[in-house]
Structure 1
Amino acid sequence: MSMKGREVILGILQGGSHTGYEINDILQTRLSHFFDATFGMIYPTLKKLEAEKLVTKQQISQTDRPNKNIYTITKAGQAAFSKAISEPTSDEIFKSDFLMHLYFSQDLPTEQVALFFKEEISRKEAKLATLQAQLATWLENGMTDRQQITFDYGIAYYTATLEVLKKAAKSIAS
């Protein structure tokens, strides 16, 4: 079974209570290299989880700011997450707009294809830098050995991909 947003949010809450903003931060920093989540998905998912009594919400009043909602996983939520995490894993779904463009680019000018490479290299370098920049924070906040493997996987993926892209970009340009 492929983990969806609801299971991922329950998994994040397994580690402690969080606000929606904090959940988004974890999704965008720690998980973004292997889980695609949008900010707009978080609150509707939390609302459904709350309606299903898998999480509870505590509202904290703040002066000069909007109220802050803190979400906590319930026993039922822990049971649902435990069931989901125990399911066999699914094969990765890999989608790349860059590779799709490249695959069908036989009739495009070399300059256009070179631009595709430049854009993709830039994106991958930014993602690699973001991942590397987060390591100290993750270690400081507590990272398990298994979470470290997901970090290492991301580093290896971006490093190897950049090597292939840069080599290919040189061959296209010459």
Structure 2
Amino acid sequence: MQGKDIILGILSKKERSGYEINDILQNQLSYFYDGTYGMIYPTLRKLEKDGKILKEVIIQEGRPNKNIYAITESGKEEFDDYLQSEIDDETFKSDFLMRLFFGTSLDKAALKQLLKEEIARKEEKINRLNDNFKLWKNEGGLTSTQEITIKYGLAQYESTKKVLEDELAKLESSSI
């Protein structure tokens, strides 16, 4: 999965501005895709150059002009090819797990703090995703497949939080 695939997917349903694309990346897709603001505009320029999208400049008084992007037939075909292609293995990066893996030199208090902070991060992600899920569902903007992705993300965060809470409880009850 590349940034171009994500942007074509976002544009496959509706014309959008770069700001709207970024909002979707940062809110709706952030729990399973790590897209950055800095990736959007170079990708949009390349997609436009390759004829996969069109840009319409909207003139605004008293404000900068607004660019609206729309997918072309060629872009739809490329996105469909992506959807039909073989699924890549998931990649997972976690600074927390890397620190934990090499954390044998941490004392008990530091290890407990590390676990508590990660539990808090998971709780924040669960709360934000639940809040967004309710909002998106009320707005009627979720498809059944999008609901599955949100439920999948919630299940991951909740199960990870449970493992960390169980391990923290073991650590707190141990005499080491």
Name the TM tier (shorter chain): over 0.9
Q: What is the percentage of aligned positions where both structures have the same residue?
A: 47
Match of 1:98 in 2: 96
CA RMSD, 1 decimal? 1.2
Q: C-alpha distance in 2, partners of 1:80/1:141?
A: 27
- Report the equivalent of 1:39: 37
Q: CA deviation at 1:69?
A: 0.7
How far apart are residue 167 of structure 1 and its match? Answer: 1.5
Name the CA distance, whole Å, in 1 between partners of 2:144 and 2:94: 29
Aligned to 1:168: 167
The answer to whether the 8 Å contact 1:53/1:76 transfers is yes
Deviation at 1:74, TM superposition (A): 0.5
1:6 and 2:4 are equivalent in the alignment? yes
| Runs of 4+ deviating beyond 4 Å | none
**SS of residue paired to 1:106:** helix
What are the within-5 Å matches in structure 2 for residues 78-157 of structure 1?
78-139=76-137, 140-157=139-156
User: CA–CA distance in 2 between the matches of 1:87 and 1:127?
Assistant: 30
Code of the residue aligned with 2:34 in structure 1: it is D
SS at structure 2 position matched to 1:90? coil
1:71 is displaced (CA, Å) by 0.4
Name the SS of the counterpart of 1:69 in structure 2: strand
**Separation of aligned partners in 1, 2:118 and 2:49:** 41
Q: Which amino acid aligns with 2:53?
A: V
TM-score, normalization by structure 1 = 0.94
Aligned residues of 1:29 and 1:130 also touching (Cα < 8 A): no
- Tell me how far apart the structure 2 counterparts of residues 141 and 110 of structure 1 sit (CA, whole Å): 48
Q: Describe the superposition over 1:34-85 as per-residue Cα deviations: whole angstroms up to 9, x where unpaired.
A: 1111111111111111111101111112222211111000111001111111
Q: Kindly provide the amino acid, as one letter, of the partner of residue 104 in structure 2.
A: Q
Please, which runs of 5 or more residues in structure 2 have no aligned partner? none
Q: Match of 2:16? A: 18
Distance in 2 (CA, whole Å) between partners of 1:61 and 1:24 is: 21
Range with bigger deviation, 128-137 or 69-78: 128-137
